[in-house]
Amino acid sequence: MHRAGRVAYSLCRSARLAIHSAEGRAGAIGAAGTGSAAAAAAAAAAAAAAAAGRSETGQHRRSFQSLCGAAASHQPPPSHDDAYWLDKLTPEQFRICRQKGTERPFTGALYHNTKPGVYSCVCCGQMLFASSTKYDSGSGWPSFFDVLSKDAVNLSEDGAFGMRRIEVECSSCGSHLGHVFDDGPAPTRLRYCINSVSLGFRPSP
Ligand SMILES: [Zn+2]
């Protein structure tokens, strides 16, 4: 997750820089476009495109910032002690779910799963994600653009490894699930990047 997180963060920064660059170009064309009507029209079109990008990006940022706000306010749920989880989980599940580990990309059993159903917390069984929101992000981890219910997860700021990320935990048992990024598809523009090891799957009947 760490490498992908860095890539995703970089991509996000790149997208914003590209928009800023487009805004800069629109301004430059506008300043230079004193000669022909064509240049003026091009400047107007570029400015409109930059404004549209700015507006969409602004809404996108506000949406993600509201997530960050939620992240700052959450309280960790009560949980069982390590002895309970060591007895209940495999060593790999314990390392990832209870010690905030990360599975190797492209290795998860549910990474390529496209069957209809519901993804649950492997620790406590709480329903977390619907298969209808799963998509192939190419990251190497199961990716979802939304949660089944806002109450299903808790979000918290994670500053590990010098990165500012938002961690996703099961709201019922506190299991580490993964992280959420703001580079997902419509309609939410979010990417819940989740360890396959942290998930169970219940196929639709
Ligand atoms: Zn749980």
pLDDT digits 0-9 by tens, 16-57: 333 333 333 333 333 333 334 444 444 444 444 444 444 455
- pLDDT for 133: 98
DSSP 138-194: SSSS-EESS-S-GGGEEEEEE-GGG--EEEEEETTT--EEEEEES---TTTT-EEEE
The alpha carbon of 170 and the centre of ligand 1 are apart by a number of angstroms equal to 5
DSSP 101-152: --PPTT--TTTT---SEEEEETTT--EEEEGGGEE--SSSS-EESS-S-GGG
- pLDDT for 60: 56
Beta bridge partners of 119: 129, 201
- pLDDT for 159: 84
d(CA 10, CA 26): 24
Q: Which amino acid is at 173?
A: C
Residue 7 — pLDDT band, cuts 50, 70, 90?
A: very low
Using the predicted structure, report yes or no on whether residue 146 has a pLDDT greater than 90.
yes
The rounded Cα 109 to chain-centroid distance in angstroms is 20
Q: Are 72 and 157 in contact (CB under 8 A)?
A: yes
The alpha carbon of 29 and the centre of ligand 1 are apart by a number of angstroms equal to 54
- pLDDT for 125: 97
Average pLDDT, the chain: 76
Residue 121 is a catalytic residue: no
What are the structural domain ranges in the chain? 2-73, 82-203
The alpha carbon of 200 and the centre of ligand 1 are apart by a number of angstroms equal to 10
- pLDDT for 14: 33
pTM: 0.68
The alpha carbon of 178 and the centre of ligand 1 are apart by a number of angstroms equal to 13
Mean pLDDT of 127-137: 98
CATH architecture of 82-203: Beta Complex (2.170)
pLDDT digits 0-9 by tens, 54-80: 445 555 555 565 665 555 545 555 568
The alpha carbon of 102 and the centre of ligand 1 are apart by a number of angstroms equal to 17
Catalytic residue among 123, 124, 173, 193: 193
